[in-house]
Structure 1
Amino acid sequence: MYNDNPPQRKPWSLPFQAEPEEVSALRRLMRLHLGLWGLQDVIEAAQLCVTELVSNVVTHVGPGTPATLAVSMSGPHLRIEVHDSDTRALPTLMEVACDSEGGRGMALVEATAVRWGVELHADRKVTWCELATESALPWSVDEGPRLRGAEGLLDLYTTERTARVTAVGAHRLSVACAEETAIEIISDLLHWFHAHGRDADEVLERAQVHFETEAGAAV
């Protein structure tokens, strides 16, 4: 049984350090949140915009700059913001040659978003863009505690990353406790995939391949 009401889409934000290695983590978090919001149609576009907006801070403001990613709905549009403290280094839309290796960032955002801009405040600037979204897909009336658990996991993930940015040496779970918690997290996420018509076994296989690839690269 389904209804036509979209899932709750609460605005969220995440402080981070503007480093190249942060981009992939922010892209993954964006995919997870938009999946829970039922906005699969804009995931790739949103990831591209996050990549370019964050890379713009790294390149033109400087690596290690404290910044914040903020995501919300603006009517039917998905709004993505990147906040940083430098009000002088403003993003610009440049014309670049076809064989140029740089300078394409804001041109890609311009081509992908319905609109974008920069807001200047006393202590920061906000570079933002908005993406058009399609109608939400039907959602199950009874999402159940496990599906709510997956949403809670994302909130915890965001909180944990925020703590890592603002403090070092946070308390860590014991190995045994962490293992049990991880199993519950994986189980909740598999329930979420199943509820949205995905094959849980296929998801596990893809995750295993992804893990082995990253592990091999690390070695």
Structure 2
Amino acid sequence: MTVPELRLLATPKAVPELRHHLREHGFDVQLCATELLANVIRHVGEGTPVTIRVIGAPGRGRTRVEVTDPDPRALPVLLCAGPAAESGRGMALLDALAVRWGVELAGDSKTVWCEVAD
């Protein structure tokens, strides 16, 4: 099943709402999608308009998660957070869960995507 495109504002309240929309998908898809949304909140700004797409159906191989925001300059960075760090693990978690991930740049936006195996 493909979840329709979701347009929402990147706010902390939107995180559980997104999880609810993705309830038919596995935990890894939900976690990756919410982590990408949380990155927009933290690095682009709370209230940023985003578009979220989940392409694929559970049990069909891979599911692609895409989050598009209007800031092509705020790129995700894979960090190596130390044990005492309070943040910086999001992309490492996504990197561990996803088969692959990347960024597609457009003139006035970017899409961060990942593919998760079923």
Q: Give me the TM-score of the superposition, normalised by structure 2.
A: 0.92
Query: Does the residue aligned with 2:63 lie in a helix, a strand or coil?
Result: strand
Which structure is richer in relative contact order (CA contacts within 8 A, separation 6 or more)?
Answer: 2
Cα distance in 1 for partners of 2:103, 2:96 equals: 16
State the shift of 1:92 in Å: 0.5
Larger of the two Rg values belongs to structure? 1
State the shift of 1:59 in Å: 0.3
Aligned to 1:51: 34
State the shift of 1:99 in Å: 1.9
Larger helix share, 1 or 2? 1
Cα distance in 2 for partners of 1:126, 1:114 equals: 17
Aligned to 1:63: 46
1:111 partnered with 2:106 = no
Alignment RMSD (CA, Å): 1.5
Task: Supply the AA of the counterpart residue of 2:83.
Answer: C
1:30 partnered with 2:16 = no
Q: Tell me, which stretches of 5 or more residues in structure 1 are unaligned?
A: 1-8, 35-42, 134-219
Asked if the contact 2:3–2:22 (Cα under 8 Å) also holds between the matched residues in 1, the reply is no
Larger strand share, 1 or 2? 2
Query: Does the residue aligned with 2:33 lie in a helix, a strand or coil?
Result: helix
Aligned to 1:21: 13
Deviations along 1:55-114, whole A, 9 cap, x unmatched? 000000000000011010297210000000000000000111012110111000001111
Task: Supply the AA of the counterpart residue of 2:101.
Answer: W
How many pairs align? Answer: 116
Deviations along 1:185-213, whole A, 9 cap, x unmatched? xxxxxxxxxxxxxxxxxxxxxxxxxxxxx
Cα distance in 1 for partners of 2:117, 2:38 equals: 22
Cα distance in 1 for partners of 2:22, 2:99 equals: 19
Cα distance in 1 for partners of 2:61, 2:34 equals: 22
Q: Tell me, which stretches of 5 or more residues in structure 2 are unaligned?
A: none
Displaced runs of 4 or more, over 6 A: none
Percent identical pairs in the alignment equals 47
Task: Supply the AA of the counterpart residue of 1:67.
Answer: V
